[in-house]
Amino acid sequence: MPPRLSHRKSTTGCLRCKGRKVKCDEKRPQCSHCVRHHVLCEWPPLETRIYKPSQSKSSNGTASRPAQPSPRPGLPSPELGALQVLELRLMHHWTTATADTMSSAQLASVKEMWSMSVPQMAFEYEPLLHTLLALGAAHRSTLIPNEAKSLRPVYQGYIDSALQRHRPVTSTLDENTSEAVCLNAMLISLYTLWLRSEPSTEPYEPPMMWLSMSHGIRTIMKNVFHQLVRNNSRLCPLLFAQPTFWDKKEPIRAYEGPSRPFHFLLEYRTEEEVMDDKDTQAYTVAVEHLERLYIAIETSEPAFMIRKIFTGFPPVVSRDFIQLVSERRPRALAILGRLFAMGKTVDNIWWLHGIPEKEVIGINSIMPIPWKWTMDWPLNLISKKSPISHASPPVVDRTGVDAFF
C-alpha cells in the first residue's frame, strides 16, 4: 500500500479545514477546499488584545519592559469573518430589497411589517432568520447573475438549516412562537415555489413540495389564527390585507358571468374515470378558487392582490386535491395547469418569473391524450395567443369520450 501523503494541520485556517484536519490555503473570503466542496467558508474570530502604553521607568527607577498584549476573552472581534460579512450583506439585502417584493408589500403597513417587524422576529426565532437569509441570497442571485453560482450553496445551506429547526417546533406551538412559526411556514413555501424556476434535466414532476408545504400553512393557521388576532400579532397587517383567506367573515366572491368559465372541469367525464363524492368536493373547491383568481384578473385587480390569490391556492384546497395531483389525475392536472396559466399574467416578480411557462409545458407533457385538449387554453395563454376571457372551450363531441356537458 503506498504511504499516505503527509500534511500540516491548519492552525490559522478556516474552521471547516481545522475540523477536517486538513491544510487550509487561507484564501479569503473562501479557501480552495470550501470552494471545491461548495460549502460556506467560516473563519475564527481574531483574538482581541489590549495594549498598555509602556513607561520609560518603573517606580524604583529601573527601565520597565514594554507591556505585553493581554487577551480579553468575551469581547467580540474587531474584524468580521467572511461568514459574518455575508450574513450582514444578506440581511441588508432583505430589508432594502427583498422585503419590498413580498406579499402585499405595496401596502404601507405590510411593507413596514416585512422590512421592520420581520427582521425583529427573525432575531427571536433562528429558523426564521435562516429563511430570511436564504431568500435574500436567492433574490440576490436573480439580480446579480455573476454571483448566482457562489450563492447557490449559500441559500441551500440556510434553507436546510431552517427546515431542520422549523419542523420540530410546528407541533408544539405556543403564544411565544406562533407568529414566527406561521411566518416561517409562509416564507418556506414561497422559497419552494421559487425553486421551480431552477433549470432541471429530469422529466417533469408536479410541484408537490410547494403544494404540500403551502398547504401546511392552513394547518398552522387553524390552530393559531384567533390567538394571533387576539394578541394583535405583528403579522396582522398581512393577515388582514385584502384578499384574505383566514378570516371566515369575508364572503367568497362567486363568478357572475353568463357561464362559469371553469365549470366544464367538473362536468367532463371519460368512460374509464372513477370519481367519488370526496373527489368531487376536492375538485369543486379547487375550481372555485380558480374562478376567484379569474375574477381578479378580469376586473383588473392590482397585481399584488392577484399574486396573493395565486399563492393562496395550496392552503385553500383540500389535502385530498393535493393527493389527486400526486396521483397525476388528469382533472387535477388540468386545474393546476389553469392556475399556472393565470399566474403568467402577474409573473413580473423574481419569485414567480418564468415558472408559469415551465409548469404549463410540464403538465402538458404528462397529460393523458384523452385530456390533452384541456391544455390548449393554458398553452395559448402563456404564449399570449389567447385572451384570458377565452377560458371555457366550445362544446365538442369526442370519439370514444362522453361529451362534457
Helix (H) / strand (E) element for 50: namely strand 49-50
Q: What is the dihedral of CA 342, 214, 190, 261, to 10 degrees?
A: 10
CB atoms within 10 A of CB 248: 9
pLDDT of the residue at 41: 66
Task: Considering only residues 254 and 182, tell me which one the structure prediction assigns the higher pLDDT.
Answer: 182
Which value, in Å, is the radius of gyration of the alpha carbons in the chain?
28
Is pLDDT at 55 greater than 80 in this prediction?
no
- C-alpha 75/C-alpha 48 separation (Å) is 7
pLDDT of the residue at 175: 80
pTM comes to 0.76
pLDDT of the residue at 223: 87
Q: Choose among 357, 281, 378, 279: nearest CA to 325.
A: 279
Provide the H-helix boundaries in 125-276.
Answer: 126-143, 145-166, 178-194, 208-230, 236-239, 264-267
Report the pLDDT averaged over residues 224-232: 92
pLDDT band at 396 (very low <50, low <70, confident <90, very high): very low
pLDDT digits (tens, 9 = 90+) for 299-351: 999 999 999 999 999 999 999 999 999 999 999 999 999 999 999 999 999 99
Instruction: Judge contact between 206 and 328, C-beta under 8 A.
Output: yes
pLDDT digits (tens, 9 = 90+) for 3-35: 444 444 445 677 778 777 788 888 766 777 776
User: Coil, helix or strand for 221?
Assistant: helix
pLDDT of the residue at 246: 63
User: Coil, helix or strand for 80?
Assistant: coil
Report the pLDDT averaged over residues 199-224: 93
pLDDT of the residue at 385: 65
Q: Choose among 164, 187, 166, 192: nearest CA to 177.
A: 166
pLDDT of the residue at 21: 76
Task: Considering only residues 253 and 295, tell me which one the structure prediction assigns the higher pLDDT.
Answer: 295
- C-alpha 391/C-alpha 301 separation (Å) is 18
Helix (H) / strand (E) element for 298: namely helix 277-298
The one-letter amino acid at 115? S
pLDDT digits (tens, 9 = 90+) for 134-179: 999 999 999 999 999 999 999 999 999 999 999 888 878 888 889 9
**Residue ranges per structural domain of the chain:** 82-239, 264-382
Q: Any residues with CB less than 8 A from the CB of 196 and at least 6 apart, and which?
A: 207, 210, 355, 358, 359
Is pLDDT at 286 greater than 50 in this prediction?
yes
pLDDT of the residue at 395: 38
Task: Considering only residues 58 and 18, tell me which one the structure prediction assigns the higher pLDDT.
Answer: 18
pLDDT digits (tens, 9 = 90+) for 250-285: 444 444 554 578 989 998 888 778 888 999 999 999
Residue with cell 500500500: 1
Is pLDDT at 209 greater than 90 in this prediction?
yes
Report the pLDDT averaged over residues 200-205: 92
pLDDT digits (tens, 9 = 90+) for 78-112: 555 677 889 999 999 999 999 999 999 999 999 99
pLDDT of the residue at 168: 85
Is pLDDT at 356 greater than 90 in this prediction?
yes
The one-letter amino acid at 36? R
Task: Considering only residues 386 and 18, tell me which one the structure prediction assigns the higher pLDDT.
Answer: 18
Helix (H) / strand (E) element for 71: namely strand 70-71
The one-letter amino acid at 388? I
Cell of 34: 470550501
Q: What is the mean pLDDT of the chain?
A: 82
pLDDT of the residue at 50: 34
- C-alpha 275/C-alpha 320 separation (Å) is 12
Among 6-15, 68-77, 344-353, 362-371, whose mean pLDDT is lowest?
A: 68-77
Instruction: Judge contact between 253 and 295, C-beta under 8 A.
Output: yes
